[in-house]
Structure formats: C-alpha cells, structure tokens
Amino acid sequence: MATVLGTSASSSSIVAMLASRSLSSYSTTSSLPSFSPIPGFGQGRKFYGGIGVKVRKRRSQFQVSVSNVATETGPAQEQAKRLVSTESQRPVYPFSAIVGQDEMKLCLLLNVIDPKIGGVMIMGDRGTGKSTTVRSLVDLLPEIKVVAGDPYNSDPNDPDLMGIEVREKISKGEELSITLTKINMVDLPLGATEDRVCGTIDIEKALTEGVKAFEPGLLAKSNRGILYVDEVNLLDDHLVDVLLDSAASGWNTVEREGISISHPARFILIGSGNPEEGELRPQLLDRFGMHAQVSTVKDAELRVKIVEERARFDRNPKEFRESYKAEQEKLQQQISSARSSLSAVTIDHDLRVKISKVCAELNVDGLRGDIVTNRGARALAALKGREKVTAEEIATVIPNCLRHRLRKDPLESIDSGLLVIEKFYEVFS
C-alpha cells in the first residue's frame, strides 16, 4: 500500500513539476515576438485544466484597442481589402456576357435601381441561366454608406434602416464611424434552419462570458441588400412564413430564451424556380414586385453562341471577365446614374390614372400592382436617362408587374402577360 501511495505521490509531483515548467517557459517566451510563416498570426499556448493547447493569436496592424465596433480605415487600406476579397472570391460569370433573357435582366436591373419595387420572381425551364444571371448581378451592385462594424448594415442617415445600437449611439451624441461597402447578396439555402435565418443565441458568449447575446442570422446580413432563394417554390413553409413577415414589416423580431430583439430587414427578395417542380404559395407570390418568365432559347445560332461563351469562361475565367470589363463598367455607371437621378423622374397624373384603370379592369387584388407599375416605369425612365415617364416605359414594365397577380383559377397558367398587354393598349389608345 505504501508503495502504491509513494508511486502516485511521485507521479503527481512529476506532473506538477512539468506543468510548472511549462507555465514558466510559456510566461518567459510569450513576451518575445513569435515568428510564423503566415503574416499577422502568432503561435502561443493556452492552458485548460493543466493541459497545454496550441492556439493561433492574430495581431492586427491597424487596430490598437479591441472593440466591438470597427474603426474606419483609410481609403488605401479599404481598396487593398476589397482587392484581396475580390481576388479570393470564386469568379462570377459577367452580367453583360449573358445572351438573351432580356426580360429577366431588365427586371433585375430595375430592382437594383429602385429596391422599393419589391424584388423579382423568375420562373422558367431548367438550364436557362436563372441562377447564373442572378449571381452575376454581384459585380454591378453599387456601394452604399453603412455604419462600420454594425451587423445589420445600418444606414447612418435613415432611422428606419438603423439597428437599435446605432440609434442609442445617436441619441447619446456619439460619432458614428461610416464606411462604404457594396450591396450584399445573400443566398438562402433550402435546407436552412429557422435559427440560421432569423438569428439565435450566441452560444460562445453564453459559455465564455455568461451573458445572453444575440447572433444575427441571414435576414440581418441581407438588410439593405439582396436575398436570393433558388428553387423558392420548394422552400419549407416555416421559412416562407418568416420571409412573409419580414417582407411585410421590414423588421425581423426574434424571441429566443429570454431575449427579445428587433432589427431592420429590408431586402430585395429574388426567387427563381421551375413551375413544373411545384407552385408557389399565393401569399409569397404577391410579395414579389415583378415576375419574369424565362424560356429556352430556340434560335440555333444563339444556342451555339451561349455554348461557346460558356466554354471560354470555363477555360479561363479571368481572361473572359477581362474581355467584358468595359461593358461591365459602362453598365455599372448607368446604374449609379439612374439611382442618383431616380428622385427627379416624374410621371404625369393622367398616366397614373390609366395605370390604375388597367389594374381595376383586370380585377387585380389590392394596390400593390398600381404602386409597383409606377415605380418600375420611373426606374426604367431613369435607366434610359429620361426625366419624364412615357407610355413606352409603362408598356415595357406593366406585364411583369401584373402578370402574377391575375391568376384566379388554380388550373390557369401563370403567364397572363398577353392579357395585360391587350388591356394596356385598350386603355392607352
């Protein structure tokens, strides 16, 4: 028995000696600069219950103090960051290189010019480039002013688009750190959980600091940006309810384990799908401002051109994107110019009356059709560089604004654009 006790005692003393030696060696070497093959990272050792675990410590060369709100960096540093993030991203097919599908491209551009149009629903055959076109929109998105370090992309000038923390800072008279960032596009996967979409409790803070903290979800990330749902007609009903609530109010309210928090969630909702795989709930369909119908290209020459362009992109994406750089920049300038001149575009009262007459004679439920048609016509006029809306702009956008609002019979096709055009010429003639 004494031998056993002596052995255990000696082993425990050895463990204590090794632990103290490790601790003393760590404390003496931690003050020295550590060198690592990766710049900005150092290697150290943390102890959890006497067990040494290697960790990586990041050293920031721009921030002096640790804060939960990022400080504003200089223009050269911001440009370097954007360049690094752009080069590290997966190459995106250029928007200008997409052949055909003019209706879909126009609806997307009008929503970027005026986000209050309410998004676009794209329905069509599989393999027609719906998701490719939507994701190619990323390169054309303009920059917006946001509060630096804010998880909700709060607008420093619009209280309706501010998070609660930013409002409190303004009420206290604190100065906000403002930075420019591109409009964000967030993908909502079909298998996403409700907690990931709405936000949930920050488990890390709860365990380490013992406080209840909110971890923002995809709705917070998409505020003032674009929320894209591929195969939206296959989305689970509980996620559809979440999108309906946020799209209606522009705010997302989360009730989780004693935490009640609300944050702005105004986004451009873009959905795509194949009608053969299932229909969309009427409540969600009505929330889309515009509807674009996509069909397979029948012209043999255009099909060959599409195949050749895609082959070029797959061979060398960087070279292919460079060949369309001038067209992309030109289109980006048109969008920026249209966004800045949108408020100056006017529409005559008699044209507004005729738009409402078309909606009334087509038995369109509610007034969303009237509002979206007016907004779409103004956005198209701004894109064309006009200061006044004409009947030409209205004729272009009115089928996309009213087509998906006419279906009364479940067996009727969603494509009622011809009926809208006939009624338009009957009223505007």
User: What tens digit of pLDDT does each residue of 231-254 get?
Assistant: 888 888 888 888 888 887 888 888
At 407 the pLDDT is 63
Residues 286 and 350 in one domain: no
Residues 6+ apart with CB under 8 A from 382: 113, 338, 339, 341, 342, 345
Higher-confidence residue: 299 or 29? Answer: 299
Domain end position, chosen among 263, 297, 331: 297
Residues 113 and 218 in one domain: yes
Q: Is the pLDDT of residue 52 over 60?
A: no
At 137 the pLDDT is 92
Is residue 77 included in any domain, yes or no? no
Give me the mean pLDDT over the 307-316 stretch: 93
Residue 306 φ/ψ, nearest 5 degrees: -65, -45
**Active site (annotated) includes residue 368:** yes
Residues 6+ apart with CB under 8 A from 42: 33, 34, 36, 56, 57, 58, 59
At 413 the pLDDT is 52
The 10s digit of each residue's pLDDT in 355-369 is 999 999 998 888 999
At 17 the pLDDT is 45
Question: Which of 224, 287, 339, 368 is labelled catalytic?
Answer: 368
Higher-confidence residue: 407 or 266? Answer: 266
Q: Is the pLDDT of residue 377 over 90?
A: yes
- Could you tell me the residue range of the domain that residue 198 belongs to? 90-141+182-297
Residues 235 and 130 in one domain: yes
- How far apart, in whole angstroms, are the C-alpha atoms of residue 2 and residue 8? 10
Percent residues over pLDDT 70 in the chain? 77
At 341 the pLDDT is 94
Neighbours of 319 (CB within 10 A): 10
**CATH number, domain with residue 382:** 1.10.8.80
Is residue 216 included in any domain, yes or no? yes
At 415 the pLDDT is 53
Residues 113 and 195 in one domain: yes
**Are the beta carbons of 176 and 169 closer than 8 angstroms?**
yes
Residues 189 and 249 in one domain: yes
Give me the mean pLDDT over the 263-289 stretch: 86
C-alpha Rg value of the chain to the nearest Å? 28
Residues 6+ apart with CB under 8 A from 295: 124, 125, 128
Q: Which amino acid is at 82?
A: R
At 347 the pLDDT is 95
Is residue 82 included in any domain, yes or no? no
Residues 133 and 202 in one domain: yes
Give me the mean pLDDT over the 5-18 stretch: 42
Residues 116 and 199 in one domain: yes
Give me the mean pLDDT over the 139-162 stretch: 88
At 409 the pLDDT is 59
Q: What is the mean pLDDT of the chain?
A: 78
Strand ranges across the sheet with 290-294: 185-187, 226-230, 268-273, 120-124, 290-294
Residues 196 and 268 in one domain: yes
Is residue 325 included in any domain, yes or no? no
Residues 351 and 276 in one domain: no
Higher-confidence residue: 423 or 81? Answer: 423
At 89 the pLDDT is 66
Is residue 407 included in any domain, yes or no? yes
Is residue 129 included in any domain, yes or no? yes
Band the pLDDT of 342: cuts 50, 70, 90: very high
Pairing of strands 214-216, 199-201: antiparallel
Higher-confidence residue: 307 or 50? Answer: 307
The 10s digit of each residue's pLDDT in 165-189 is 888 888 888 888 889 988 889 999 8
Residues 243 and 355 in one domain: no
Band the pLDDT of 309: cuts 50, 70, 90: very high
Question: Angle at the Cα of 397 (from 394 to 403), degrees rounded to 5?
Answer: 120
Q: Is the pLDDT of residue 410 over 70?
A: no
At 205 the pLDDT is 76
At 331 the pLDDT is 94
Give me the mean pLDDT over the 4-20 stretch: 42
Instruction: Quickly tell me which residue has 């194949």 as its tokens.
Output: 274
Give me the mean pLDDT over the 77-99 stretch: 66
- How far apart, in whole angstroms, are the C-alpha atoms of residue 127 and residue 104? 14
Q: Is the pLDDT of residue 204 over 80?
A: no
Is residue 285 included in any domain, yes or no? yes
Residues 6+ apart with CB under 8 A from 224: 115, 144, 146, 153, 155, 161, 183, 184, 264, 266, 267
**Are the beta carbons of 383 and 110 closer than 8 angstroms?**
yes
Residues 137 and 241 in one domain: yes
**CATH number, domain with residue 106:** 3.40.50.300
Q: Is the pLDDT of residue 256 over 80?
A: no
At 334 the pLDDT is 94
Domain end position, chosen among 277, 297, 317: 297
What are the DSSP calls for 299-366, one per residue?
-HHHHHHHHHHHHHHHH-HHHHHHHTHHHHHHHHHHHHHHHHHGGG-B--HHHHHHHHHHHHHTT--S
Q: Is the pLDDT of residue 282 over 90?
A: no
Is residue 103 included in any domain, yes or no? yes
Domain end position, chosen among 297, 316, 333: 297
**pTM for this entry:** 0.75
Q: What's the number of domains the chain is made of?
A: 2
SS3 279: coil
Residues 263 and 379 in one domain: no
**Are the beta carbons of 364 and 136 closer than 8 angstroms?**
no
Q: Is the pLDDT of residue 20 over 70?
A: no
Band the pLDDT of 85: cuts 50, 70, 90: very low
